[in-house]
Amino acid sequence: MPDTPENRARRAAFEAAFHAELRDAAGARGFVETFVHDGDPREPARLVAHAASRGLPASRPTLLFLHGKGGFAAECRRDAVRAVRLGYNVLVPELRAHPPSGGGRITYGIFEREDLALLAAEAARRFRFDPARLGVDGCSMGALVALHVAASNPHVKALWLSAPFADLPAMAVQYVHRATLLPPWLVEVPARLAVAAIARDAGLPLAHLDPVAAARRVTCPATLVHGEEDELVPAASAPPLFAALAGEKELWLVPRCGHCHHADEPSALRSGEYRRRWSRFFRRTLPAR
């Protein structure tokens, strides 16, 4: 979402509603707090995150929610509020280069992965959240980051992926195709060359972010959810990622639904089923007291 006055006002309204619902879910003995922490020192940034708990946080597992590119934390409202009501601590960061967090650029997991490790450590220090009992719920680019977090952190016990993509250059082709309406075969070579040039010029080793390679290192239980009518990240991304996941896994391709955190997302159009599947998955794989 571009950082315009109108969008800042929209984010502020969403955030106010988000905090009000979290406070209600946390109850009289719980807490909700927005705080600032340091990001990856290789590219320093001051990052904002939201935390909530019903109290006694050291006794509860924590769910980490990751929004997509151009998104913001309050887009995770429904699931984060549900998580608190079910007895989980929640952490919902504003990812780097997404206001109000700082950072000059999005790096698709290169710096975000360390940002989140530092966030977990800060939440353990501030709130006594247990960093060894962690579940992750990610949407779109947030799902890519979630894959890399789960692949590198053995304390991630459960992973929920909404509309993840399987190939960064292929996503560049998709975005150029949607922006220009030119056929994919015509824009594929220039789009892939542009991604390679950006990686080279910006010093970002994007080749290290291969989602399928990361999925092969994910051994915790995982659920992959993808709307079959997703026009941003085509559902064809789902099968190769699902096949690569190394642990217990489930694939839910949702008919007549689109991209996560959009009006036609599965959690909106299939809300009852989504809520049941989501709650059952986390209760089973990461039980809350």
**Residue 239: which pLDDT band, with cuts at 50, 70 and 90?**
very high
Which positions ≥6 away from 135 have C-beta within 8 Å? Answer: 61, 62, 63, 64, 88, 156, 157, 158, 159, 160, 282, 285, 286
Write the CATH number of the domain with boundaries 5-167+210-285. 3.40.50.1820
**Residue 193: which pLDDT band, with cuts at 50, 70 and 90?**
low
Distance between CA atoms of residues 288 and 284, nearest Å: 9
* C-alpha distances in Å from residue 274, one per residue of 9, 93, 191, 217, 284: 29, 23, 35, 26, 15
**Residue 195: which pLDDT band, with cuts at 50, 70 and 90?**
low
**Residue 8: which pLDDT band, with cuts at 50, 70 and 90?**
confident
Q: What is the DSSP letter of 160?
A: E
Its pTM surpasses 0.75: yes
Domain boundaries, the chain: 5-167+210-285
pLDDT tens-digit readout, 84-124? 999 999 999 999 999 999 999 999 899 999 999 999 999 99
Angle between helices 77-85 and 5-26 in degrees, nearest 10:
10
